[in-house]
Amino acid sequence: MYQNMSGLAAQSNLSVIDLRSDTVTQPSPAMRAFMMDAEVGDDVYGDDTTINALEAKTAALLGKEAGLFLPSSTMSNLAAMMAHTRRGEEIIVGRGYHIFKYEAGGSSVLGGAFPYPLEVALDGGLEPNDIDAAIKPDDPHFPMSRVLSLENTHTGQAVSLDRINACLDVADTHGLTKHLDGARFFNAITKLGISPTDLASRFDSINICLSKGLGAPVGAVLVGSTSTIAAARRWRKMLGGGMRQAGLIAAAGIYALDNNVRRLQDDHDRAATLANELTALNKFKVTYQANQTNMVYIEPAAKDIEPLRQHLGQRGINMGGGSPVRIVMHLDIDDDGLTRIIDGFKSYYG
């Protein structure tokens, strides 16, 4: 899925356009200047005023009581699961969701919780009936179902509020704790045309990634109730996430929330344009569904994938591998960059 960028710049005198992910963005000069001016202190003592401001800002934005700054979304999700469960309890989650598939099994290995994966529907959500059927009776033969963990966006798809609420209704009926892996939360609400609180209000905790579409270099914020965040803060320390003068990087999160949320629609628009142009080539399957945000998926013939990567690489464009190939729009790709990408595909396929 991820390919190394080494050699691309040497092959082209153009700046490199990286299509692999929205995690590859570089901090802008304005973001860097904002970071360097940040007031800092020892966060483990609660003395870093910039981190405190980021946590309070994110919590208020999503309508929650408190927030917690962590090095990554992986640690944020893990700290949330450890705060919500006791050893041997169950997390109901999508089979393709990050907590189950892409976070190294941390909730099980380190948290002692049992993940119960469900098939993800075509729109990126879970089926309420599947959730209901997965919840275990109070029987010592079974783990106790404790958490429903959803994801939005999923593979770039913004799951509708109706779908989310139908799943949360089932969770509420059975008294489950409700967590949202909202790593790309702001892509979701931008696509859905809703407010942050519209999506966040019914969840007990939400993970927000700062280093994906928002363009910060590192970090995530977990928001929830005061008691949930207090528990997660203790787990963060045990997991090695207690930081000191980390306001330097937290400042990037503040800058991102203030400046890089409104522009996410640009990424979505460019992804839609790219999907239309690639579809018009009629050379491979292109997946870009109605609820897609900043990601396009393509399936070139196996014989073409590596030659296509090399062809684009010679033009300063870094395409990942895998099947399907994911192409991600982000703040480092402008309209000129989009034109270069389209021209690169067209020149390969003649």
Q: Tell which residue, 226, 178, 229, 233, has the closest CA to residue 200.
A: 178
Indicate the burial class of 218 (C-beta count within 10 angstroms; 0-12, 13-18, 19 or more): middle
Structure-token match 């005061």, residue found = 226
**Cα–Cα dist 349/316, whole Å:** 17
Buried b / exposed e over 314-331, threshold 16 CB at 10 Å, is ebbbbbbeeeebbbbbbb
Q: Which pLDDT value is given to residue 1?
A: 40
Q: Tell which residue, 271, 280, 260, 296, has the closest CA to residue 346.
A: 280
Let me know: does 165 contact 133? Beta carbons within 8 Å.
Answer: no
**CATH code that applies to domain 29-259:** 3.40.640.10
Which tokens is 127 given?
């089926």
Coarse DSSP helix, strand, coil percentages of the chain, rounded to the nearest 5 percent: 45, 15, 40
Helices and strands (DSSP H and E) totals, the chain: 15, 12
pLDDT tens across the length of the chain (350 residues): 444 544 444 445 679 999 999 999 999 999 999 999 999 999 999 999 999 999 999 999 999 999 999 999 999 999 999 999 999 999 999 999 999 999 999 999 999 999 999 999 999 999 999 999 999 999 999 999 999 999 999 999 999 999 999 999 999 999 999 999 999 999 999 999 999 999 999 999 999 999 999 999 999 999 999 999 999 999 999 999 999 999 999 999 999 999 999 999 999 999 999 999 999 999 999 999 999 999 999 999 999 999 999 999 999 999 998 889 999 999 999 999 999 999 999 999 98
Q: Which pLDDT value is given to residue 321?
A: 86
**CATH code that applies to domain 8-22+263-349:** 3.90.1150.10
Q: Which pLDDT value is given to residue 9?
A: 46
Q: How far is CA 80 from CA 178, 195, 234, 343, in A?
A: 10, 23, 11, 44
**Cα–Cα dist 75/319, whole Å:** 28
Q: Tell which residue, 272, 327, 323, has the closest CA to residue 299.
A: 323
Enumerate the domain spans of the chain.
Answer: 8-22+263-349, 29-259
3-state helix/strand/coil string of 205-274: EEEEECCCCCCCCCCEEEEECHHHHHHHHHHHHHCCCCCCCCHHHHHHHHHHHHHCCCCHHHHHHHHHHH
Structure-token match 């529907």, residue found = 121
Q: Tell which residue, 23, 119, 114, has the closest CA to residue 74.
A: 23
Which tokens is 208 given?
């927000």
Which tokens is 165 given?
């609420």
- pTM, to two decimals: 0.94
Which tokens is 230 given?
């207090």
Q: Which pLDDT value is given to residue 11?
A: 47
Say how many C-beta atoms besides its own lie within 10 A of residue 225's C-beta.
15
Rounded to the nearest 10 degrees, the angle between the axes of helix 247-259 and helix 49-62 is 30
Q: Which pLDDT value is given to residue 18?
A: 98
Q: Omega before 153 cis (within 30°)?
A: yes
Let me know: does 173 contact 202? Beta carbons within 8 Å.
Answer: no
Which tokens is 252 given?
């990037």
